[in-house]
Amino acid sequence: MDSRVKKIREAAAFISESIGGRTPEAGIVLGSGLGKLGDAIEAEAVIPFARIPHFVKSTAIGHKGNFIFGRLAGKYVCAMQGRFHYYEGYAMEQVTLPIRVMAALGIKTLLVSNAAGGLNPSFQVGDLMIIRDHINLLPNPLIGPNFAEFGDRFPDMTAAYDLDLIARAEKIAKKAKIPVRKGVYLGNTGPSYETPAEVRFYRCIGADAVGMSTVPEVLVARHCGIPVFGMSVITNVSNIDNASTVLNDGDDVVRAADAAADRMCTIFRKLIESL
Ligand code: HPA
């Protein structure tokens, strides 16, 4: 067996044993400061990433580093409180291992969230953005021999973000009177924030928000054929004029994400309910 597949199987077997062999219907990835949704889950098992074979340590701020298994809106789900980032120095295989493991456990849908910087000039701190597409400026996690048991060598990305899930989320937001934006998320490596020239460049190529995560996870989930819904919380707005008064800071990002987390949780909970 391919050593990468062996790692996935071993991690999945460890988790499966801890949750009595149950199959979560959906997987959720909770980004910086967005771990709150994890508290809304009636947890039946909390598994620290550090205990799972082949998982690396989550070092990012605002990331607890747990897998939570339990019920949310009547559905048995698993949620990652925190994630792994390429900027932490991990290989893409390590960054995306949890997605492969959730696929092996049998999830049918993946919901991803992140904290992102607003590029679209109309965006404000605290806005929620439904991700309708992405631009990948990170290394592609699918480089290397193809995992044929998971998916195709050249997976299609024309609807990487599931159109039906987007439509449902928009309906849910409207009904709950939660304003939402819709836009393109650009993933870059970080860990440095963008220069004003990069912000102008990213706007020109069609990005509405920028962050350092999510895209690798979505590529891997789509490779596995799992429908994806994504949402960004705009935690800071990007600056295009070198004004030293607008500085990006990791703690501000976590604070802004925390303030918006309740609205995002409402949408995620109702979306899960609708599955
Ligand atoms: N840039 C990149 N990643 C981010 C930002 C940003 O401005 N805010 C939150 N994550």
pLDDT tens digits along 53-95: 999 977 766 567 899 999 999 999 999 999 999 999 999 999 9
212 alpha carbon to ligand 1 midpoint, in Å?
Answer: 7
Q: Picking from 9-23, 113-127, 230-244, 247-261, which range would have the lowest pLDDT averaged per residue?
A: 247-261
Q: Answer whether 131 contacts ligand 1 (Cβ < 6 A).
A: no
Query: In this predicted structure, what is the pLDDT of residue 252?
Result: 73
Q: Which atom of ligand 1 is nearest to the CA of 118?
A: 7
For the chain, percent of residues with pLDDT exceeding 70: 94
Percentage helix, strand, coil for the chain under 3-state DSSP, each rounded to 5: 35, 25, 40
Containing H/E element for 203? helix 196-204
When pLDDT is cut at 50, 70 and 90, the band that residue 206 belongs to is: very high
Query: In this predicted structure, what is the pLDDT of residue 245?
Result: 52
Distance of CA 264 to the CA centre of its chain: 13
Q: What residue's CA is closest to ligand 1, atom 3?
A: 211
Could you identify the residue written with the tokens 């109309």?
122
- Cα separation of 261 and 243, whole Å? 29
The CA angle 87-206-255, to the nearest 5 degrees, is 50
Nearest to 237 by CA among 228, 229, 246: 246
Which among 112, 131, 194, 239 is the best mutation to test ligand 1's pocket, defined by most ligand atoms within 8 Å of the CB?
Answer: 194
Cross-strand partners of 44: none
256 alpha carbon to ligand 1 midpoint, in Å?
Answer: 12
Q: What residue's CA is closest to ligand 1, atom 10?
A: 116
Query: In this predicted structure, what is the pLDDT of residue 31?
Result: 86
Q: Answer whether 227 contacts ligand 1 (Cβ < 6 A).
A: no
Compute the average pLDDT of residues 161-170.
98
Containing H/E element for 112? strand 109-118
- For 94, 138, 236, the CA distances from 250, given in Å and listed in that order, are 23, 20, 10
50 alpha carbon to ligand 1 midpoint, in Å?
Answer: 26
Which among 123, 203, 235, 247 is the best mutation to test ligand 1's pocket, defined by most ligand atoms within 8 Å of the CB?
Answer: 235
Instruction: Answer yes or no: is pLDDT of 175 > 90.
Output: yes
Q: Which domains does the chain have, with CATH numbers?
A: 3-273 (3.40.50.1580)
Cβ-based neighbours of 111, under 8 Å, separated by 6 or more? 26, 27, 28, 29, 228, 229, 230, 231, 268, 271, 272
Q: Answer whether 117 contacts ligand 1 (Cβ < 6 A).
A: yes
Is this structure's pTM higher than 0.85?
yes
Q: What residue's CA is closest to ligand 1, atom 6?
A: 117
Peptide bond just before 191 cis, omega within 30 deg: yes
Which among 248, 249, 255 is the best mutation to test ligand 1's pocket, defined by most ligand atoms within 8 Å of the CB?
Answer: 248
72 alpha carbon to ligand 1 midpoint, in Å?
Answer: 29
34 vs 41, higher pLDDT? 41
Q: pLDDT tens digits for 208-245?
A: 999 999 999 999 999 999 999 999 999 999 877 765 55
- Cα separation of 190 and 202, whole Å? 14
DSSP 87: G
